[in-house]
């Protein structure tokens, strides 16, 4: 994706970053973000930071100006906003809204844009993605949920969606539905805007290993939707969803901050906690392992930075996104796994070591959540398959 706006200078990006930091410092709630506990736990937490970000033009800045966007927006601005929210350990806005907003902007009718976009900007409506199914996780082309066109123009939807992030808080769902029963794979799919309060919608939260509710099952049983719920044309679903997902690729850039925070916590624990009465980092083996993981993080950051630069310049190569995704997810898991192991082995003494205790707890939570990153947004196995086909041109079996 190439921006129509020239790349900002380093000085301009630095000024923008300072503006973002000041905004977050002023508006972030007194709640620290936790990996694996990203979904709000109360109604009060649901939209703590999002409204101020939209009002300040920091969120939704890539929208057309007539819908609230900025004409000086550049994709690197989005990366900076994401980075600074993560660096401040502030609760992240519900990012599932981004896909829905871009799908509406590019494929929605004028009526749908007027009706559905303003509540998103006011943070009055949370959206989720109704894509994955029990037998169609990373391979969403295999969806089987079906939609049947009725004589009065309405649609009747039936099926099951699973691993739905923030589904228990969402007001609306962007659903990929098979509307041609004779079709298969990428053909015969359509996209619908589904009110989750509609009759026939049942949401069952799934509790994770970290004892949090992040994802859900959503059951659609004879859910009747009006003709105005269809987004785009019938049978256009695959291209709509793929185009929408393209807009999410810049999100991986901001995630490098999660790797930096992981290493910071690992160094805090290794440097201040004790093993056999001495700082863990005094051990040559531990020092070596921490150093190797720190190098892995720097390599992953380099891959991801290169990927973002290629995206912004229009020079993306086949498989670049898969490399970036793999680099982040697998590095995150390795660092978090070692960090949790080390945190369990060290001793913390003294009242002044609250920062070490917090780092230990964060490492444990990151480890419990780390496998989710190797699955969500396309599993590591699928990323390797994509690389094999598109980058290495290996034959399919």
Residue 56 has pLDDT above 80, yes or no: yes
- Which residue do the tokens 């169609």 mark? 136
* Mean pLDDT within 311-332: 86
The SS3 call for residue 193 is: strand
* Contact of 183 with 197, CB cutoff 8 Å: no
Residue 43 has pLDDT above 70, yes or no: no
* Mean pLDDT within 225-234: 96
Residue 382 has pLDDT above 70, yes or no: yes
Q: Report pLDDT digits (tens) over 154-199.
A: 999 999 999 998 898 899 999 999 999 888 888 999 999 999 999 9
Q: Report pLDDT digits (tens) over 193-217.
A: 999 999 999 999 999 888 888 899 9
What confidence score (pLDDT) does residue 224 get? 98
Model confidence, pTM: 0.87
Residue 340 has pLDDT above 90, yes or no: yes
pLDDT confidence tier of residue 250, bands split at 50, 70 and 90? low
Residue 308 has pLDDT above 70, yes or no: yes
Spatial separation of the C-alpha atoms in residues 130 and 165, rounded to whole Å: 9
Q: Taking CA 325 as the corner, what is the angle to CA 342 and CA 41, rounded to the nearest 5 degrees?
A: 65
Residue 244 has pLDDT above 80, yes or no: no
Spatial separation of the C-alpha atoms in residues 115 and 340, rounded to whole Å: 47
Spatial separation of the C-alpha atoms in residues 127 and 212, rounded to whole Å: 20
* Contact of 198 with 171, CB cutoff 8 Å: no
The SS3 call for residue 233 is: coil
Q: Report pLDDT digits (tens) over 343-357.
A: 999 987 655 688 999
Q: Which residue segments constitute the domains of the chain, with CATH numbers given? A: 10-93 (no CATH), 127-237 (2.40.110.10), 253-391 (1.20.140.10)
The SS3 call for residue 147 is: strand
What's the gap between Cα 115 and its chain centre?
25
What confidence score (pLDDT) does residue 28 get? 85
Neighbours of 196 (CB within 10 A): 22
């Amino acid at each position: 994706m190439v921006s129509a706006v020239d790349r900002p200078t380093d000085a301009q990006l630095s000024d923008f970053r300072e503006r973002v930091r000041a905004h977050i410092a002023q508006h972030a709630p007194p709640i620290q973000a936790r990996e694996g506990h990203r979904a709000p736990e109360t109604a009060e937490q649901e939209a703590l930071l999002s409204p101020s970000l939209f009002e300040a033009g920091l969120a939704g800045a890539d929208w057309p100006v007539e819908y609230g966007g900025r004409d000086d927006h550049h994709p690197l601005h989005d990366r900076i906003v994401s980075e600074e929210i993560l660096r401040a350990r502030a609760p992240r806005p519900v990012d599932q809204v981004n896909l829905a907003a871009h799908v509406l902007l590019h494929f929605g009718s004028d009526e749908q844009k007027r009706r559905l976009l303003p509540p998103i900007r006011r943070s009055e409506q949370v959206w989720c993605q109704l894509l994955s199914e029990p037998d169609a996780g990373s391979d969403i082309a295999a969806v089987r949920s079906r939609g049947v066109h009725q004589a009065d123009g309405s649609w009747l939807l039936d099926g099951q969606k699973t691993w739905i992030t923030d589904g228990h808080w969402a007001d609306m769902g962007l659903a990929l539905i098979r509307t041609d029963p004779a079709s298969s794979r990428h053909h015969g799919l359509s996209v619908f805007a589904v009110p989750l309060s509609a009759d026939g919608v049942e949401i069952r939260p799934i509790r994770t290993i970290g004892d949090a509710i992040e994802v859900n099952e959503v059951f659609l049983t004879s859910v009747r939707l009006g003709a105005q719920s269809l987004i785009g044309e019938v049978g256009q679903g695959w291209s709509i969803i793929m185009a929408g997902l393209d807009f999410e690729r810049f999100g991986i850039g901001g995630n490098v901050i999660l790797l930096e925070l992981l290493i910071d916590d690992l160094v805090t624990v290794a440097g201040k906690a004790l093993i056999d009465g001495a700082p863990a980092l005094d051990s040559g083996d531990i020092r070596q392992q921490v150093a190797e993981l720190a190098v892995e993080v720097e390599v992953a950051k380099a891959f991801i930075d290169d990927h973002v630069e290629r995206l912004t310049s229009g020079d993306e190569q086949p498989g670049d996104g898969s490399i970036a995704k793999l680099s982040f997810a697998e590095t995150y898991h390795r660092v978090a796994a070692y960090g949790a192991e080390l945190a369990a082995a060290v001793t913390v003494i003294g009242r002044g070591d609250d920062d070490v205790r917090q780092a230990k707890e964060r490492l444990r939570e990151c480890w419990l959540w780390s496998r989710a990153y190797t699955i969500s947004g396309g599993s590591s196995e699928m990323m390797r398959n994509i690389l094999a086909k598109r980058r290495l041109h290996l034959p399919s079996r």
